[in-house]
A and B are shown apart, each in its own frame.
Chain A
Amino acid sequence: MPTPTPDVTQMLDALGRGEDGAVDRLFPVVYDELRRLAQRVRQGPAMETLNTTALVHEAYLRLVGPEHEMSFESRAHFLAVTAKAMRHVLVDYARRRGAAKRGGGALRVDLTAALGAYAPPDDATLIAVDDALLRLGRLDARKARVVECRVFGGLTLDETAAALDVSAATVKRDWRMAQAWLWRELADAPGGDGGATAPALP
């Protein structure tokens, strides 16, 4: 359905200049685009799982266009917004589906199963990660954004660094500590399954 296309490139330029509210203006556009793309993928034949990296890049191509010259930094800023949007698309979908399936019952995260090679995470894991990420964000906002970029946007270290205007070394350190903290949170969470310290509740 044709909607008045907001001028994405203008928003990107605002983003590049670090204008207040630029992210807030861009986010809903990217979110809608990603949700549309995700829906299309889910309805397609033989495609049950989302390829977030592919979606992020397709959203980029659709919104920015292949011919638009963009600096590495601006592109990284855009991808960071896309990562945030991706997180919301995935988690919103998981929550809706989880609610439909279980009537909103308790979530159970199977961390050891999640370690299996390259299977898409189940809804419960996704939601638990999202919750833990919210808590991390209150403690250390930048670390939460690093995780968002790396996990939900598939951004590289350098892209993440450019998006957050910090050095790659900082991203590397943040990423390591954030992972450890989140894992500990997930393992300790009710219903967690991460080790002997976390009693599994019925």
Chain B
Amino acid sequence: MTDARWLRIEQLFEAVADLPPAAREAALAEEPDAAVVAEVRALLAADTSAGAFFGALAAGLAHEPAALDAGAHVGAYRVEAFVGEGGMGSVYRAVRADGAFDRTVALKVMRVGTGDVRRFLAERSVLARLDHPAIARLYDGGVLPDGRPYFAMEWVEGRPLTDYAAERGLGVEARLELFRQVCDAVQYAHGRLIVHRDLKPSNVLVADTPDGPRVSLLDFGIARALDADALTEPGGTAPLTPAYAAPEQLRGEPASTSTDVYALGVLLYELLTGRRPYRVASRARAAVERAILETQPTRPSTAVTQADSAESVPTAPAAPDAARLARRLAGDLDAVLLKALEKEPARRYGSAEALSRDLERHLRGLPVRARPPSAAYLAGRFVRRHHVGVTATLLGAALVIGWAATATVQGRRLAEERDRARLETIKAERVTAFLTDLFQASDPALALGGRAYDPDLTARDVLDRGLARAALLRDQPAVQAEMLATISQTYTALGAYDAALAPGEQALALREALARDGDTRASLEAATSLRALGWLHILRGENGHAAGRFREALAIYDAHPEAPAADRAEGLLLLGEVMATVARHDDALRLYRQALALHREAGDVAGEAVTRHDLGSLHHHLGRFDASIAFFQQAIALYRRQPSPDPVAVGASHTLMGLVLREVGRLDDAEAALTTARELIEPRLPSEHFRVLQVRMAWGTLLVAQRRFPEAVATIEPVLNARRKVLGRTHWATAEAEAWLGAAYLEMGRLDDAEPLLQSAYRVLAGVRGPDDRYVVPIAEALDRLRAARQARR
């Protein structure tokens, strides 16, 4: 065969392999060379079987050796018995061999090797921090001498969720209650930025306990730790069923919390209907994948009455007949399931918690949010906000010239505190339920009638109402403090800095009172309040107050050696940020270094990333541009090593790196970095969020540098207006926007527009940073040039 003919065969095969039959025939008919067509037809005929054959061949070759014998030692464990084959490998029952604990574990020895042992071990330590009653604990993990990774996990007795429900003949309500336990556990892990990626009935076990059925989730985050690309690769060798995979997973895109929400949808679908959501012609992997990617799920109430379904219904809920079950599912539950199973992640429930709460609403006879679009919109919006308020409130500062921290203070604080008493959980749940109830009570469909809906106004209304309710909790100061703190943080996240102050102060006072009564945890919570208030002061431009709060917080940590290292490091970082803002760079550098040492000691990758980001910003201030860029790159790399990197944090690092690149004249690189930053940040946050304003501001400065002045004006002006509204006129960030807008006008020769802006900017910034600061001097120079231009015109 000639090379040319082989090439033609290859091209034609690739061109037609994925076409539907009719289009394929049409394409083949256009090929003049009959031998080529014959060969391509033969290859097409072989395509499906070939994939299966080589998949089996590779898997057969890679087959693990015979089972580990009883008595074999694996790490600190001794194998007792072989339990079975799972999707990813073999499972054994084992016990601690060194007698350190009397503990039985499930030892999972993976079939597939892990590419990067160090990353695997890092993931393992992240997973080991998950501590939730419905998540099987990960105790240990390592790599066998032959390269196969293993995990030692909590030994869980139980039946797969769907089997359990079928065997007990549970009705729809009981199934929904069980399922909501699953959602709670998933939400808990998502709050710690860990995604399951492989939720399916065999990973959700249910056992009877004296308190009723108890759910245990297995293998949380394991798929990620192994990161077998076979999971997402069509025709790959992974023996995992794709039936629970989300469309984005099949497309090879990274999994997110939304991926788990989708898998929860499949799980619930199966639990309620006894079937999978899609009708597929065969169980071949390709057919299943195509159905998931291209077809809409069958409406659950329709599915249960279809006799010709490929799946039988042995696990469907007990209902006298299919028609009755169909009536039970029609409406609410159809809507909930179809929303969870949306192909587009953004159209699904915003979190596992949102899914669970909608089911709760259904159980309580309230309208579900999945049904009316406006309400669903509101729910999604609130949950996103709420999420910001509760778990990631203190997103760091990093306005363009000033601050840097990316501190996701509270989210990481929670992750560190896995051993805290159950009270914490209850408290958090109560606060969450409280806020959510408040929000639902303000549902515009119910409350606003025909009035135009202003989401920000409503969110404010809700919080205002929350304050009134929190006042009623006088007899439970710990809970009251938590609510006030949450409300304060949510106001902060909404940009309502004035409203945020009072509840924040009250929460602090309550916690300090509890601490005086000897409550150690309250002391540490008081320190958390101090950090939150300090952050609020930073945002309000009150640097002196901010520094005072952080110093108080650090003093508390010094008195409590048991305080989490991450909290202490956070305090150091925030104080460092204030120091950097007021141009006390040596102090800032010292504080950042201390924070870095703490994070590294604790193996806290996220914390290290934040610190390196801050160091990048500081070196930018100091004019050490190469070092600054390197720090941002390190921060980005560290963020990306995490199971689910926070896109906003990664975006913030790109933003600041883009600024440095602009400043050193690498405008193309700057544009690339800022484009990435905008893509990461803008779709995820409200338009007046400071991160959004920050990245738009940065974009505006790039446009100035590129001498695209009209575009720069169009970009910076809205930022300035928003900052005037949110931060006020004397805030340095407002001044920053004025300075750049003034500079753009000056370049355009619009002197009358430029002058007041530059003057106002100079007044504020010279006050904050001193007249000799490298950000202030150029403004003075611009004013000089402006005056010179005026002279010349006269």
Contact = CB atoms under 8 A, between A and B. Distances in A.
B69 A179 contact: no
B115 interface: yes
Contacts of B60: 114, 118-121
A183 B53 contact: yes
B308 interface: no
B686 interface: no
B493 to A, nearest CB: 38
Interface in A113-160: 114-121, 125, 129, 139-140, 147, 150-152, 154, 156-159
Interface string B34-72: 000000001111110111111011111111111001000
A119 B63 contact: yes
B150 interface: no
Contact of B50 (A56, A61, A180): A180
Contacts of B10: 140, 177
Interface of B is mostly: helix
Contact of B113 (A53, A115, A176, A181): A53
A120 B236 CA distance: 17
A182 B50 contact: yes
Interface residues of A, number: 54
A56 B233 CA distance: 22
Contacts of B229: 156-158
A100 interface: no
What's the interface size class on B, roughly? Answer: 35 or more
A2 B114 CA distance: 30
Contacts of B148: 51, 53-54
A173 interface: yes
Contacts of B42: 184
B146 A115 contact: no
Contacts of A115: 49, 52-53, 56
A52 B61 contact: yes
Given A159-B115, A177-B43, A49 B53 contact: no
Nearest to B145: A58
Given A58-B147, A118-B239, A51 B64 contact: yes
Contacts of A118: 56, 59-60, 63, 239
Contacts of A47: 65-66
A179 B61 contact: no
A154 B146 contact: no
A151 B1 contact: no
B6 interface: yes
A120 B61 contact: yes
A154 B62 contact: yes
Contacts of B319: none
A140 to B, nearest CB: 7
A180 B63 contact: no
A63 interface: no
A57 interface: yes
Contacts of A52: 61-62
B66 A54 contact: no
A49 B66 CA distance: 8
Contacts of A173: 14
B56 A53 contact: no
B235 A176 contact: yes
Contacts of A57: 113, 146-147
A181 B47 CA distance: 8
Nearest to A122: B60
A159 B229 CA distance: 10
A12 interface: no
B17 interface: yes
Interface of A is mostly: helix
A41 interface: yes
Contacts of A158: 229
B61 A154 contact: yes
A196 B218 CA distance: 46
A190 B102 CA distance: 60
Contact of A58 (B6, B13, B49, B146): B146
Given A111-B53, A184-B42, A150 B58 contact: yes
Nearest to A47: B65
Interface in B261-303: none
Contact of B147 (A53, A152, A157, A182): A53
A172 B51 CA distance: 12
A50 interface: yes
Contact of A180 (B44, B65, B112, B147): B44
A51 B51 contact: no
Interface string B593-616: 000000000000000000000000
Contacts of A129: 57
Nearest to B61: A52
B65 A53 contact: no
B43 A48 contact: no
Contacts of B56: 114-118
Contacts of B59: 117-118
Contacts of B146: 51, 54-55, 57-58
Nearest to A155: B115
B366 interface: no
A109 to B, nearest CB: 10
Contacts of B27: none
Interface in A157-202: 157-159, 172-173, 175-177, 179-184, 186-187, 194
A81 B228 CA distance: 21
A47 B69 CA distance: 11
Interface string B217-250: 0000000000011100101100100000000000
Contacts of B17: 176
Given A48-B66, A120-B63, A54 B57 contact: no
A118 B59 CA distance: 5
Contacts of A182: 50, 54
A46 interface: yes
Given A57-B113, A57-B146, A180 B66 contact: no
A80 interface: no
A41 B65 contact: yes
Nearest to B232: A157
A28 to B, nearest CB: 22
A85 interface: no
A133 B629 CA distance: 48
B65 A51 contact: yes
B538 to A, nearest CB: 40
Contacts of A90: 61
Contact of A154 (B50, B53, B66, B113): B113
Contacts of A139: 1, 6
Contacts of A184: 42-43, 45-46, 50
A184 B47 CA distance: 9
A182 B13 CA distance: 14
B762 to A, nearest CB: 50
Given A57-B113, A151-B54, A181-B43, A121 B61 contact: yes
Residue among B49, B59, B239 with the most chain A CB within 10 A?
B49
Contact of A157 (B52, B53, B233): B233
A61 B148 CA distance: 13
A51 B62 contact: yes
B49 to A, nearest CB: 6
8 contacts: A51-B146, A53-B148, A117-B239, A119-B60, A120-B60, A121-B61, A139-B6, A184-B43
Interface of B: 1, 6, 10, 13-14, 17, 42-47, 49-54, 56-66, 69, 112-113, 115, 117, 145-148, 228-230, 233, 235-236, 239
Given A151-B57, A183-B46, A183-B54, 10 more contacts: A47-B65, A52-B61, A54-B147, A66-B117, A120-B61, A121-B60, A150-B54, A183-B50, A184-B43, A186-B53
Interface of A: 41, 46-58, 60-61, 66, 90, 111, 114-121, 125, 129, 139-140, 147, 150-152, 154, 156-159, 172-173, 175-177, 179-184, 186-187, 194
Closest 8 CB pairs of A and B: A57-B147, A183-B50, A54-B146, A179-B50, A53-B62, A180-B43, A183-B46, A180-B46
